[in-house]
Amino acid sequence: MTTVLALNPLSATDLLTSFGTIGILVVLFAETGLLIGFFLPGDSLLFTAGLLCATGAGSLHLSLPWVLLAAAAGALLGAQVGFWIGRRAGQALQARAQRPKVATGMRRAEELFTRYGPAKAIVLARFIPVVRTVLNPVAGALHTPVRTFTFWQVLGGLVWTVGLVLAGYALGAFIPGVDQYLLPVIALVVIISLIPLALEILRERRRRPDPSR
């Protein structure tokens, strides 16, 4: 009970220490399939899991094949569930999106669809925090063809999950002692993962008309 109460759901290391590989599947499913999971640390969780597969941390030992399987399963199943939720309750979801971050994410998801089309938007959204949570129900609400959504979400999901896990694993395998600097490395990953979101915000501000003109 003490461990559960002390769990920080925003900490990748806490999640991995408490729940191990199954935690990866559950967290990624919630982040990509349920609007309540928009705050979960998908990027840092994947990278940290890969790093720990190579280095370990105390008694925590993760298997790379199982981590890859859990990550892919959580991300792909979550996206598909989110799509079907949006398909069946699109307008209701829009009405219930009262959280500012969720509402902003929905707007950006719709903008991605308009600007890039379904295929590119579905893949790009995997790398943008919050947007990857809301784009799947938005795709369903916009009646994206099931085959189109499924193909591109599987492609984007595999690139995202496998890419980040293997990046963490490579860092741990080729740089001795990097696990001693786990927190700074995770902080760097979080910062890097927020770059696409920051670029989207910057582009949006540049597109807005200047009221002084």
**Predicted pLDDT of residue 73:** 96
Report pLDDT digits (tens) over 19-72: 788 989 999 999 998 888 777 778 888 988 888 888 776 567 788 999 999 999
CA distance 128 to 132: 6
**Predicted pLDDT of residue 5:** 45
**Predicted pLDDT of residue 35:** 80
**Predicted pLDDT of residue 210:** 53
Spans of the chain, pLDDT less than 50: 1-5
φ and ψ of 60, to 5 deg:
-90, 115
**Predicted pLDDT of residue 2:** 39
- For 30-90, the DSSP string reads HHHH-GGGTTS-HHHHHHHHHHHHHH-BTTB---HHHHHHHHHHHHHHHHHHHHHHHHHHH
**Predicted pLDDT of residue 41:** 79
